[in-house]
Structure 1
């Protein structure tokens, strides 16, 4: 155990990164729990309680949740009840249908759909012209090719 703690301290001093420290600590604890404890020790409620309480600063938590909501990372299908209770406790009002990221993507899709409709209308007009056996100039054929390339690119 002392050797593992010493190695952990060396790793902290080298890169001074809290995240790597916590990851290494979790890996070491998991290894100890899996390989060095007897089965009856793993069942001890005093060592492994069913509920672990975690204290967090409410202001920092609010800031982080608002950032996650803004970036569209808050909505997932895990821990829905816990998320709702957390939002209620921190007094964060949120409209699940009013996600800014989703709204931006929806407006971009609507613009894309509109441009596709315009291109299809132009192609329809060109198709009717072609059926009437009109002769196209090289310039008109180049325009048609550019329109087709734009349509394929989008």
Structure 2
């Protein structure tokens, strides 16, 4: 475990990217849980609770969600219900159909269609 943690620390120093560090850490922990724990250990409620409570500052979360929406990284197919609940709680209005990028692409496709029809 110490060796893995050391390797992860080296990886975070190389690219200074906290997200990649956390993703690598999660992958390693999932592998340890799957392959190195006995079945009865995986059922221990003290090690693996059903619910994990996490505190996050609402203002920081709102800023991060708005940044993700702006950079078109918010609309994924994972955790759709949870993301919708988060948008409701943060009172952020987001309709992926009204996304500016999609509208711009639609306009460019309409222009191409008109050009092709005229030819």
> How does the TM-score come out when normalised to structure 1?
0.60
Partner of 2:118: 118
Q: 1:103 to 1:55 in 2, by over 3 A?
A: same
- Please tell me the root mean square deviation across aligned C-alpha atoms, in Å: 2.7
> How does the TM-score come out when normalised to structure 2?
0.74
> Which structure exhibits the higher relative contact order, with contacts defined as CA atoms closer than 8 Å and separated by 6 or more residues?
1
**1:110 offset after TM fit, Å?**
1.1
Structure whose CA Rg is larger: 1
Unaligned runs of 5+ in 1: 120-154
Unaligned runs of 5+ in 2: none
Aligned length: 118
Deviates more, 1:11-20 or 1:84-93: 11-20
**1:94 offset after TM fit, Å?**
2.5
Partner of 1:95: 95
Matches within 5 A, 1:16-35: 17=16, 18-35=18-35
Partner Cα separation in structure 1 for residue 51 and residue 25 of structure 2: 20
Matches within 5 A, 1:1-154: 1-9=1-9, 11=10, 14-15=13-14, 17=16, 18-119=18-119
